[in-house]
Structure 1
Amino acid sequence: MLRIGICDDAAAARLALHSALERLSPGCVCYEFSSGEGLLSWLAKHPNTIDLLFLDIEMGQMSGMDVARAIRAQNQRLHIVFLTGYADYVFDGYAVRALDYLLKPLSLDKLSSVLERAALELKNDAHETFSVHNTDGLFRVPKRDILYCYSDRRQVHLIARTAEYTFYDKLDQVEAALGAGFVRIHQRYLVRISAIDRIEDSAVFLGNLRLPISRANRAAVMAACARGMLEDF
């Protein structure tokens, strides 16, 4: 299921694109925004919610290109497709890693092609993200942004750089899904290896954050960190 954002200050243009997307990608979820400022404010509160963003370049106070730069500055990994009436902006998109451009008026064939490409990109990204499904929705969290996870009864709490997520699962299953790059430091704690700054007798430190390490897991944690240092070197 694609989660798509549409940012255009023209209501008619948003409606037309929304209708076309529902025809070409049944089941997709669309979020509409009438300004870049509104989009950025929403993204700050709902990171990792949108997979694909259709972004009009020629908007009011904040242009689509400025919005794209702000999105990348926030470290948002969503795919961006620019909407424009002019071809002049095409080369500017390289700086913000735009997926594509669509010239207005929109062609359904071109739009379909962009959706297929986006789906392929998301499939390729799947091994780099972890999907969280809870009462707030579905979130694809980049693994490199995850700091640690801990279990509390039947729930798992995932702590990322810019957000926290709580969902029902077993930490064993989360550990298996995250795979290499994470280490179990305690029965209740799973940590991204590269986030560990130092290890002491009974704790690991992520910056100033202290997390408990069990005696049974200490040797495995030390070995995992050593391998991580060699890979970085």
Structure 2
Amino acid sequence: MLRIGICDDSADARIALRAALERALDRRRGAGTFFEFSSGEGLLRWLEKHAGELDMVFLDIEMGELDGMETARRLRAADEGLQLVFVTGYTDYVFDGYSVGALGYLMKPAQPERLDEVLDRGLEARLREEDKVFLCRSGETMYRIPKKAILYFSSDRRQVSCVSTARTYTFYGKLDEVERTVGDSFVRVHQRYLVRAGAVERMDGGQIFLGEEVLPVSRAHRSAALAALARTALEG
């Protein structure tokens, strides 16, 4: 299921685009969850508390104080994998989208053929991004967390916490399963801790340092952790 944000200062435009997107998803036998925003400021504030909860955002360019282009720049700075689509009534801005890696442009009103093209590209891009993100579900929400933003995972019985540079995500699972999912860019340093090797600043005795975070390294995992960290350092 795609999680789609629609940002437009016109309520009528949001309603029309959502209806068009629902029809486009129906043609693919797919479904989407929609989040509507009346301003770029509102969207950015929401994402501060809900990082990784959107797959795609449709942005009107001509909005109030913070227009769609500046909103897109700030979104891209916070999340490189977020798919951005501009919606506009003018052709003047088409080439500006390259600077923020926009997935495409839609002229108002959005035509079904163009909407299909953009959704297809978005779904393809999402598949390509799967090896770059970690997906987890907490309650009713599915989070898409860029792996390079993750510092470490910790476990407490059946509860796993993913500590990233933005926030901490908590979900039910096993650390062994997480380790198999994230690949060899993460290293087990303790029965309860799995760290991203690239986030480690140094290892000193029985401790590992990740910025302000200090985690224990168990004797059982010390040799493997040292080898993995050395390999990461050599690979740059």
Q: TM-score range by the shorter chain?
A: over 0.9
Q: Could you give the per-residue CA deviations for residues 177-214 of structure 1, whole angstroms, max 9, x where no partner exists?
A: 00110000000000000111111111111123210000
Are 1:186 and 2:179 counterparts?
no
Q: How many residues align?
A: 232
1:196-215 residue pairs with structure 2 within 5 A?
196-215=200-219
Aligned residue number for residue 144 of structure 2: 140
Task: List alignment gaps of at least 5 residues for structure 2.
Answer: none
Aligned residue number for residue 225 of structure 1: 229
Letter in 2 for 1:170: K
CA distance in 1 between counterparts of 2:140 and 2:165 reads 19
Letter in 2 for 1:177: T
1:85-124 residue pairs with structure 2 within 5 A?
85-124=89-128
Show structure 1 runs of 4+ deviating over 4 A: none
Cα distance, 1:97 vs structure 2: 1.1
CA distance in 2 between counterparts of 1:125 and 1:76 reads 10
Q: Secondary structure at the residue paired with 1:61?
A: coil
Are 1:15 and 2:19 counterparts?
no
Q: Could you give the per-residue CA deviations for residues 108-159 of structure 1, whole angstroms, max 9, x where no partner exists?
A: 1100111011000000100111101011500111111110001011100110
Aligned residue number for residue 57 of structure 1: 61
Cα distance, 1:76 vs structure 2: 5.2
Q: Secondary structure at the residue paired with 1:217?
A: helix
In 2, are the aligned partners of 1:48 and 1:76 still within 8 Å (CA)? no
Are 1:38 and 2:42 counterparts?
yes
In 2, are the aligned partners of 1:48 and 1:77 still within 8 Å (CA)? no
In 1, are the aligned partners of 2:153 and 2:162 still within 8 Å (CA)? yes
Q: Secondary structure at the residue paired with 1:22?
A: helix
Q: Secondary structure at the residue paired with 1:49?
A: coil
TM-score scaled by length of structure 1: 0.97
Aligned residue number for residue 171 of structure 1: 175
In 2, are the aligned partners of 1:132 and 1:138 still within 8 Å (CA)? yes
- Shifted more, 90-99 versus 70-79: the winner is 70-79
Match of 2:163 among 159, 175, 179: 159
CA RMSD of aligned residues (A): 1.0
Cα distance, 1:23 vs structure 2: 1.3
Identity of matched residues, %: 52
